[in-house]
Amino acid sequence: VSIAREKFPGQSVSLDALCKRFSIDNKEREIHSATIDTELLARVYIELMDARELSLDLNVKTQHASSESNFDIQKIQNREPATRLTDDDKELHKVFVETLGENAIWKKKEQFNNE
């Protein structure tokens, strides 16, 4: 309603009036139904926002993308992630992990990596 008031100041902005303004068939609205009102309101909103599809041309020729790719997956698989850790940082972490005990998740990760 606020959008309609802004676009049409001083004019009626009821759902019926807006349907009439935009030539939207609202004959089904004789029976009050929230579903019908919702559909009508959606159509009115599209008109208010000028969001209508100008035309639908199904005969438009499009270029189809090639299914072939020159992308080489091997370049990104199994590569080591970049790290900013120094050797000292890695050693400190290893010492810390030793203090966590045998059930530490880091120990399980190390076992998994060694398999």
Report the alpha-carbon distance of residue 32 to residue 38 in Å, rounded: 11
pLDDT of residue 34: 87
pLDDT of residue 17: 92
The amino acid sitting at 56 is: L
Task: Give catalytic status of residue 93 as yes or no.
Answer: no
Cβ atoms within 10 A of the Cβ of 97, count? 15
Cβ atoms within 10 A of the Cβ of 18, count? 24
10, 31, 32, 88: the catalytic one is 32
pLDDT of residue 86: 86
SS3 98: helix
Report the alpha-carbon distance of residue 76 to residue 65 in Å, rounded: 23
pLDDT of residue 113: 60
Q: What is the mean pLDDT of each run of 10 residues along the chain (115 residues)?
A: 87 90 86 84 86 57 57 63 80 87 74 58
pLDDT of residue 111: 60
